[in-house]
A and B are shown apart, each in its own frame.
Chain A
Amino acid sequence: MKILVCISHVPDTTSKINFTDGDTKFDTNGVQFVINPNDEFGLTRAMWFKEKQGATVDVVNVGGPETEPTLRKALAIGADGAIRVNTPATDGYAVAKQLANVVKDGGYDLVIAGRESIDYNGAMVPGMLAELIGANFVTNCINLEVDGTNAKAVREIDGGKETVSTTLPLVIGGQKGLVEESDLRIPNMRGIMMARQKPLKVMEPVDVSTETSTVKFEKPAPKGAVKLVSPDNLDELVSLLHNEAKVI
């Protein structure tokens, strides 16, 4: 089985979110970038397939050279090879088109992406990719088993979960549950050394046009201070929720 894991290069959760160029661009100054958490669960599940069932695992990112440390980290965790499509990630559709080209070029059977990235939260690349390459697609995936070309997946739905049967080629929108958080791997020294020797291929992008464009960003208005209510005066809390917040 050939597995491709899509890796988004995203600001760490604790990052301060600021914008530059007249609020049209994310300000990367001083920001620590990490593997998108949803992708990390998928990468670890891919490692499980590699070790238990035999698979090769490549990772891919669409972005400039600044994303390579994130790909190297994925190699240090255990991926066999990395691909960087040398173009900025503009919109979800353009990224999906680039990834579709990578999947066709590499003949992958299983693509594991995260359900969404924690920066733009679009939740659109995995589904668009699946449709562009004519693969089956399961998102919000919290468990995945593959047997030959058959797959069983569990999808989280509103208020529960459902189990589905499908076949490869398959695209997964993964999340926590694919593996548990305690199973996530931290690169060790040996992995980091080996990652330096592993191939990181730079692919030139195919020609695609975007479908959406960012006009500007805006930060939410600063929040007022919390109103503290004494635990001995819960009537006041009920009254505030009813009369002031109007939520009950």
Chain B
Amino acid sequence: MSVLVYTESEKGKFKKAAFEVASYAKAVADQMGTTVTAIAVNADDVSELGTYGVDKVLKVNDGKMDAFNAKTYANVIKQAAEKEGTKVVILSQSADSKYLAPILAVNLDAGYASNVVAAPTSASPFTVKRTAFTNKAFNFTTIDTDVKVVGVSNNSFGLVENSGSASAEAFSPNIPDNGVHVDSVDKASNKVSIADAEIVVSGGRGLKGPENWGMIEELANVLGAATACSKPVSDLGWRPHSEHVGQTGKPVASNLYIAVGISGAIQHLAGINASKVKVVINSDPEAPFFKAADYGVVGDAFDVVPRLTEKLKEFKAQNA
């Protein structure tokens, strides 16, 4: 009956989103009067999950699961759900979890709600609040099936610490081979990804050229932030498409989004407006982005950004 949560790791270390979905699972379990079981794949140390309310961890350690395969992962999570008699499965909304979620839902005959941003408003009927219309509205949805799959948006529920500890149990599921094989992965290993970042620093055409991105990267470095860009910038080839955020690019739901030299076209705002706090630096006081922002600086990016970076360095040094 326990709530099952899939806690993602990368190179053996849990992602922050894993602790967030664990916190969420704990809230659901409390509502339902049950416990939380996590499934962790090739993670080194699972004890940390206890801090976020997990009671038991099913540890899967198998080289066959090193490369991510959505169908295989969905199948393994299904086996864990069946073993635990789970009625609610909690996932993050990372690219991988979003990929496997619909497959898992079909396998479990479960209804699935994605982009969920708050604990269930009711456990029966099971009702969740999710974003819709590209963050221009919330949609309260009931999941009417016996088994339910819930995808929790990153940075929406937050981390909730508990005093508990988690017991670990080895779990050796049947690992089927599937029809999609990873040939190669091309990923910058030393950079924070946009999906995982708490802070995103994004640059637009106002930066005038790719050679000026150094100051965006420096600002991002000071903040431990990911870098992103607007659509014109990726269309012009100044930055890779993987950095393009907006409606047709990557969605951003960071705690802080700093937009430099981005006017704020509606398609851009659609992709980033799930971010909690938005700061805009733009020389044009009429830029539409100022209407969507929390804080704004009307000024030349080439003057403001390096000085802001210095101020933040001082701040970090004092508050380290």
Contact = CB atoms under 8 A, between A and B. Distances in A.
Contacts of B199: 247-248
Contact of A219 (B137, B223, B244, B299): B137
Contacts of B194: 158-159
A17 B96 contact: no
A225 to B, nearest CB: 8
Given A130-B103, A163-B182, A220-B137, A93 B277 contact: no
B195 interface: yes
A142 interface: yes
Interface in A80-109: 91-93, 96
Interface in B197-222: 198-199
B28 interface: no
B102 A158 contact: no
A215 B99 contact: no
Contacts of B99: 127, 139-140, 155
A245 B180 contact: no
B188 A160 contact: yes
A119 to B, nearest CB: 6
Interface in B262-320: 266-267, 270, 276-277, 279-280, 290-300, 303-304, 307-308, 311-312, 315, 319
Interface stretch (A42-50, A65-73, A233-241): A233-241
A231 interface: yes
A93 B107 CA distance: 12
B43 interface: no
A131 interface: yes
Contact of B187 (A124, A160, A216, A237): A160
A238 B295 CA distance: 11
A175 interface: yes
A215 B140 contact: yes
B292 A214 contact: no
A166 B255 CA distance: 37
Contacts of B255: 247
Nearest to A211: B111
B22 interface: no
A124 B137 contact: no
B298 A176 contact: no
Given A14-B266, A160-B242, A248 B223 contact: yes
Nearest to B100: A127
Of B106, B178, B235, B293, most buried by chain A (CB within 10 Å of CB) is B106
Nearest to A16: B136
Contacts of A152: 183
Contact of A137 (B70, B188, B250): B70
A33 interface: no
B134 A121 contact: yes
Contacts of B181: 164-166
A229 interface: yes
B102 A126 contact: yes
Contact of A19 (B102, B137, B280, B312): B137
B69 to A, nearest CB: 9
Of A14, A158, A181, A228, most buried by chain B (CB within 10 Å of CB) is A158
A229 B295 contact: yes
B248 A37 contact: yes
A48 B253 CA distance: 34
B115 interface: yes
Given A138-B180, A211-B112, A229 B296 contact: yes
Given A17-B137, A124-B101, A211-B111, A241 B256 contact: yes
A98 B307 CA distance: 57
B95 interface: yes
A213 B242 CA distance: 34
B300 to A, nearest CB: 8
Interface string A199-219: 000000000001111111111
Given A118-B270, A159-B192, A237-B279, 9 more contacts: A91-B111, A139-B70, A161-B242, A211-B110, A212-B142, A220-B137, A224-B294, A227-B296, A228-B295
Interface of A: 11, 13-14, 17, 19, 26, 37-38, 41, 91-93, 96, 118-128, 130-132, 136-140, 142, 152, 155-167, 175-177, 180-182, 210-220, 223-224, 226-231, 234-235, 237-238, 240-242, 245, 247-248
Interface of B: 68, 70-71, 94-96, 98-103, 105-107, 110-115, 127, 129, 131-145, 178-188, 191-196, 198-199, 223, 231, 235, 241-242, 244, 247-250, 255-256, 266-267, 270, 276-277, 279-280, 290-300, 303-304, 307-308, 311-312, 315, 319
Q: Which 7 A-B pairs have the closest CB atoms?
A: A127-B102, A159-B193, A160-B187, A211-B111, A231-B299, A131-B106, A158-B195
25 contacts: A26-B133, A96-B102, A120-B133, A128-B103, A137-B180, A155-B95, A157-B68, A159-B194, A160-B187, A161-B187, A162-B183, A163-B185, A167-B179, A212-B113, A218-B129, A219-B138, A226-B280, A226-B290, A226-B295, A228-B290, A228-B295, A228-B297, A230-B297, A231-B298, A231-B300
